[in-house]
Amino acid sequence: MNIELENFKKEIRNKRVAVLGIGISHIPLIKYLYNLGVDITAFDKSDETKLKTVLDEFSTMNIKYSLGENYLDNLKGFDVVFKTPGMRYDVPQILAAKEEGAKITSEMEVFFELCPARIFAVTGSDGKTTTTTLIYNMLKEQGYNCWLGGNIGTPLLDRIDEIKESDMVVVELSSFQLHTMTKSPSVAVITNISPNHLDVHKSMDEYVEAKKNIFKYQSPKDKLVLNYDNDITRELSKEAEGKVVFFSRKKTLEYGAMLKDDKIVYYDGNKETEIVRTEDIVIPGVHNIENYLAATAAVIEFVDKDVIRRVATTFKGVEHRIELVRELNGIRFYNDSIASSPTRTIAGLNSFKEKVILIAGGYDKHIPYDVMGKVLVEKVKSLVLIGQTASKIEKSLKDEVERTKKGGDIPVNRCSSLEEAVYTAYNQAAEGDVIILSPASASFDMFKNFEERGNRFKKIVNSIQAK
């Protein structure tokens, strides 16, 4: 019996609970709490019209609502407040509720407190979804009963009754989910850290501090996997309580997972084990080699090397991550909608040997774009721009052209919609060309999320009539 879980159920039944945000992660949470007999009020900035589908789903439940522009004004008199991940903890109404005595928490924080199984958690600015999925696939292929969730899109708290101590749980965690976490997983992985989400975080320091919570509460028996090649993550090793294992694509390590002679190898301090040749890894790009290095370092004590190799040679990647959509008249279209930061787009462009036609731009997260100039000059034959960040991306190209006197012939097109951008790119392409949507920006200026953006791109591409 999971004693912590039974105590949680007993205690929360007598509480007044507020759930802030009626989104993907909170719909199962609301249902779970309701079935426990909890007195729930659901809060959301959207009005009844926008939430009609969800409210219809809840129509038979005795749930109270606070909706619309001033929805948080009613956040008074609650015992427990479940905050949505994207909402800051220091919103005045939340701080006031905390002063009144409310416990401020989240779906993921409660899950960590109650989960009886070993948790593998992955965070990072780039590569976390692929790394999380690789770890899950490796553990599952080994024969463990596994659960996959978190920021990857699947809430887990409503499944807590089914999870056994012998199971393995793998979660992806964003900086928003980590911001107020006070418990760390058994195995923590940080793929890399670079400027991101500075539209929500007040500074780069705050962003890094949020990421640190993935290992801050570990014990010496836990493990922290860090990217040796990233300056920020390498330095984090000095603050670790758990055992630190590095991975590196560039350096021969005294201990850990590394790239050596075009092979992923793991050295445990006594013996070097060859895992897989890079040419046998199905998904392209050096960033995916790093993802495999990170996943290998995370699971090596739990998974046979043959299993890791089998996953590497069969796994075709995650949707919206350099996903081949279609080949038409010898032109290949790739969907890399997940690339919501410059570093992610740079990694995507470096996956191709040839120069590409790049569709980029989107919502502005107030992060620097000057780092893109070099790769744009080296890897792009034509640039098609949309969204709020179009001018920043174009400036990064122009500054690099002025600095190096190279790339001045790269055409730049501004478009008002994704559909216009796709057709502009296609009309410029010839047989053998690659067109890739890799926005280097979030999607929120035009789309609900990167999935909706990627799906729209695929729909447009698949609707193009052959010449």
Q: What is the pLDDT of residues 245-274, one digit of tens each?
A: 999 999 999 999 999 999 999 999 899 999
Summarize the chain as % helix, strand, coil (round to 5).
35, 20, 40
Token pair in block for residue 342 = 């410059």
End-to-end C-alpha distance for the chain, whole angstroms = 64
Q: What is the DSSP letter of 446?
A: T
pLDDT tens, 223-232?
999 999 999 9
Q: At which residue do the structure tokens 């989107």 appear?
A: 362
Higher pLDDT, 241 or 90: 241
Angle between helices 3-12 and 107-114 (to 10 degrees): 140
The helix (run of H) or strand (run of E) holding residue 13 is none
pLDDT confidence tier of residue 111, bands split at 50, 70 and 90: very high
| CA distance to 97, 156, 404, 433, per residue, from 215 (Å) | 28, 20, 42, 44
Domains annotated on the chain, with CATH: 15-105 (3.40.50.720), 109-312 (3.40.1190.10), 323-463 (3.90.190.20)
Query: Which structure tokens are listed for 169?
Result: 């749980």
Q: How far is CA 26 from CA 101, 240, 251, 352, in A?
A: 22, 32, 43, 39
Instruction: Give pLDDT, residue 153.
Output: 64
| CA distances for 302 relative to 118, 159, 436, angstroms | 11, 24, 37
DSSP 194-263: -S--TTTSSSHHHHHHHHHTTTTT--TTSEEEEETTSHHHHHHGGG-SSEEEEEESSS--SSEEEEETTE
Q: What is the pLDDT of residues 229-247, one digit of tens each?
A: 999 999 999 999 999 999 9
| pLDDT of res. 467 | 65
| 284-336: pLDDT as tens digits | 788 899 999 999 999 999 999 999 999 999 988 878 888 889 999 999 999 99
Per-residue pLDDT reduced to its tens digit, 20-54: 999 777 999 999 999 999 999 999 999 999 899 99
d(CA 454, CA 325): 10
SS3 of 352-403: the string is CCCCEEEEECCECCCCCCHHHHHHHHHHEEEEEECCCCHHHHHHHHHHHHHH
Tell me the chain's radius of gyration from C-alpha atoms. 23
If you count them, how many residues does the chain have? 467
Give me the pLDDT at residue 1, please: 73
**pLDDT tens figures, 387-428:** 999 999 999 999 999 999 999 999 999 999 999 999 999 999
Q: 17 pLDDT exceeds 70?
A: yes
